[in-house]
Amino acid sequence: MAEADKLYDEADELKEEGKLEEAVAKIEEALKIDPDHVLCHYAMAKYQSNLGNHDKAIEYGKKTLELDSQNTFAYTALSVIYRDAGKIPEAEDMLARSRMV
């Protein structure tokens, strides 16, 4: 687990440097070590969305909520991803769910 956390931190640094695709690679590496690392799924959802890969972003967002159903930020992030993908009813649903947690 500590190794996955380290890779997550490295990915976050890469993202801050504007190296989003390298950050994605670090997160993928971390998820091979710990497939249920919630923060990695959350980060990957955001990274994939920023890269315009909305379907992948939605998958990672859903996995985040599967692992942590009380994560208000994950509901909100998934709402934004759905909105950006043009899936307005789904976006509204996620936003409503974020308010119920």
* Model pLDDT for residues 24-76, shown as the tens digit of each residue: 999 999 999 999 999 999 999 999 999 999 999 999 999 999 999 999 999 99
Q: Where are the chain's structural domains? A: 2-100
What pTM was computed for the model? 0.93
Mean pLDDT across 64-89: 97
- Residue whose structure tokens are 């991803």: 81
CATH class for the domain made up of 2-100: mainly alpha
> CB neighbours of 48 closer than 8 A, spacing ≥ 6?
24, 54, 56, 57, 60
Q: Which of 68, 72, 66 is nearest to 97 (CA)?
A: 72
What backbone torsions phi and psi does residue 98 show, to the nearest 5 degrees? -60, -30
Residue 1: predicted pLDDT: 58
